Structures are given as structure tokens and as C-alpha cells.
Amino acid sequence: MKKYGLIGFPLGHSFSKKYFTSKFEKEGIDDCRFDLYEIPEITQFPDILSNNPELKGLSVTIPYKEKVIPYLDFLDPACKQIGAVNCIQIRERKLTGFNTDYIGFKNSLEKWLGNERPNALVLGTGGASKAVVQALKDLHIDHLMVSRTASDHPGFITYQDLKEKPGLLSQYHLIINTTPLGTYPNTEEMPEIDPAHISGKHKVYDLVYNPEKTFLMRSLEARGALVKNGLEMLELQAEAAWKIWN
């Protein structure tokens, strides 16, 4: 029996578990299983490996996308640039890190935008934003990072800056939410974007997929924006992971 799984904490309702269990059933794959490995500390990661010698691949989620890197033998070149891992291939006891968030997001966004390359505001600077930023660079999309706290780095602004200079929103027509704000059960939360400055020229890509339409998506769609959730990205990254593992 080949084993695959997900490490993170807490795991709760896992997209990966549902996705791969359903995939195995639909495609008649009966020699594989997908398990959840909820570990409160990354130091428990080696125990997962030693206790499960049948493991062929792992997905990695919050809060271990960066913390897992020291435990790996090799890193895919794209991973080195991104600085985060969400997929581990296990071959002959050697661990190689990949970032399929990058693959999933880039392919999904490229399809959605077509030939357009609007300037982008990336909401949030956590682990999920790293893959998004690399994809934007590779698609030649200019972007600004938006966070709650000020930064000395160029290309970073705060939500307060957006409030004080609302005209910025007329220059940046792609808004990408990489924060967990609005995720079930806290469905009435959203990043501090004023819908009054949103128009039909805007596109909003929210990495959250549960609920299907977040408060951010609903609020900005009401002003004419086109909106998209993160489900397609997740499906594409899961398929990319499956190819890497096999």
C-alpha cells in the first residue's frame, strides 16, 4: 500500500484528504491511501517518516511550509526562489521539496487573465503570498504587497496607505487575497479594502475557497468586480503534486 499525506497544524477540514480520497475512488486506484498527520511541532516530522516507511509523498500546509525546509535533502530550483515548500517527494529515503501552490496559482491566473496583465495588489505577506509573488514576477505583472504593518522594503504598503491614497486602487486592477480572512467559520471577515473605490475594471482572486464566495468577493462583486475563489488553484496544485509523487 502506497501512502501519501498532509502535514500541518491544525488540519480540520482538509481539501487534500477529500480530493485524493475521491480521486482514488473515481480512478479505481486501490493501492494508495491519503492520511492526515497533524503535528503540533515540526520536530515531530522525522517520526512521521520513520513510522510510515510506505510514504511516497506529502503535502505541507500551515504553519510548516518554511519550517520543513531544513529537514529536506533537495529543493526544486523554483522552491529556492519562493522560500516555501508545500509538496515533498519521497524517493529512496531522500526528500525533495517542491512548490505546487506556485504551479496551481500561475496556471489558474494565466487562464483567467488571458492576455491582460493588470497591476496587482497582493493582500498579505505570509507563506501563501510567496508563491503568488513568484507567479506574478514570471507573468510580468507589476505588484505591490499590502500588509497591516509598515515595511522599509520597496514594494510594500499598508492598509492605512490604501485608506489615505484611495487613488491607488484605480491603478491596480487585480486584487489577490492571500490572507485567511473570510475563511469558514469567520465568514464575515475581509481585508480592509473599501468597496467604494472598486469598479467593473477590477478582478479579485481570493485564495480562500470555503465559503465558495467570501465576504470580500461578495462586497467587491457588488461594485462590478469580476471575482474568483481558490478552488481551481487547489485542484491544479493537487494534480501537480500527484505527478511529482509518481
The residues annotated with a catalytic role in the active site are: 65
Cis peptide before 77 (omega within 30 of 0): no
C-alpha cell at 241: 503534486
CA–centroid distance for 212 within its chain: 16
The one-letter amino acid code at 90 reads I
Cα dihedral across residues 210, 233, 116, 147: positive or negative: positive
Nearest to 159 by CA among 172, 148, 173: 148
Q: What is the 3-state secondary structure (H, E, C) of 200-239?
A: CCCEEEECCCCCCCCHHHHHHHCCCCEEECCHHHHHHHHH
